[in-house]
Amino acid sequence: MKYRFLGKTGLLVSRVCLGTMAFGAKDWGCDRNTSTQLINRYLEAGGNFIDTADIYAGSISEEIIGEVLKDKKRDDIVLATKCLFRRGASPNAKGLSRKHIIEACEASLKRLQTDYIDLYYIHGPDPFTPLEETMRTLNDLVRQGKMRYLGCSNIFAWQILKANGISTLLNLERFVCGQYMYNLINRDVEREVLPACKDQGMGFTSWSPLGGGMLIGKYQKAEKPTQGTRFFFRSEIDGPRFWHERGFGTANKVVDLSEKFGISVVTLALSWILHDKRVTSIITGVKTMDQLEENLIVGDWDLPQEIWDEVNRETAYDLGHLSQFSNLVYRSTFGEEET
């Protein structure tokens, strides 16, 4: 397993991060016993980066992780979790207010059976709470030793810059990592989020790197997902992300390219993302041992440049006028496209 620094911090994390959204998830996830086996195998393979959230499987994911890790050497593991979504009936049991962040953090610490969280993400934007309140609260929790580093997920690039600008002005802890959906179907983070993370010296972790399983070719174009599949149970969430013309078209291209180069679809899709050095780690959301073993291959295997180039061309994504104009200006000045 190879490791990368998390942005400009001194923290080293494995290139393959263990995503745990399926752990304990009813219907489409995996049970506690399987989840335990997956965590143990991942750590045995050299992985040190585990990602969860207080909302995953109704908090059961955090509970499972806490049970497994209580007998491990805690300092060897980089543990990440998140807060934002509603976790109770109270009017304040949601969002990024001082009240909810503190309560969410304390609850996660209890479920995870740990004294600290290595990387704590805001799980998305809160349009009602001032960023000053959010960043001050996160800073206080770092100072109290309950968090080591701060991250953000699913917010716009301008919000990243605004939050870090506030922190710089007020001498608070800044976001050091962004966690975003990034795969060969959805490449829109290349427009502004990836450049923003690079500019801010932040790491970047990719969730759903296989497009919810769409990229491995197991879903054929149909009006509705097959009953019993992940897409069936999560159609309202995952459908708009992947179940569309581009999703099926890209999946077919990736399958064809994998056959052409003799590389498995999973290895091709994951290693394509990791080829970009702005990406710190891919979050592999597995629920079987076979899936984990196949995903672990890219932990220390790199995709050749010429293959990356062809995959990049075949799955080209229209990033819009500003990106086109920026590349035009860059080429006319420096002779190559900006990255």
So which residues are the catalytic ones? Answer: 56
C-alpha closest to that of 315 among 270, 260, 249? 249
- Tell me the three state secondary structure of residue 220: coil
Burial of 23 (C-beta count, 10 Å sphere; 0-12/13-18/19+): buried
Largest CA distance in the chain: 58
Q: What token pair was written down for 115?
A: 């004294």
Give φ, ψ of 286 to 5 degrees: -100, 160
- The radius of gyration computed from the CA coordinates of the chain, to the nearest angstrom, equals 20
Give me the sign of the Cα torsion angle 20, 235, 315, 125.
negative
Give φ, ψ of 203 to 5 degrees: -80, 170
Helices (H), the chain: 32-44, 60-69, 98-112, 131-143, 157-170, 193-199, 230-233, 235-242, 245-261, 265-274, 289-296, 305-314, 321-334
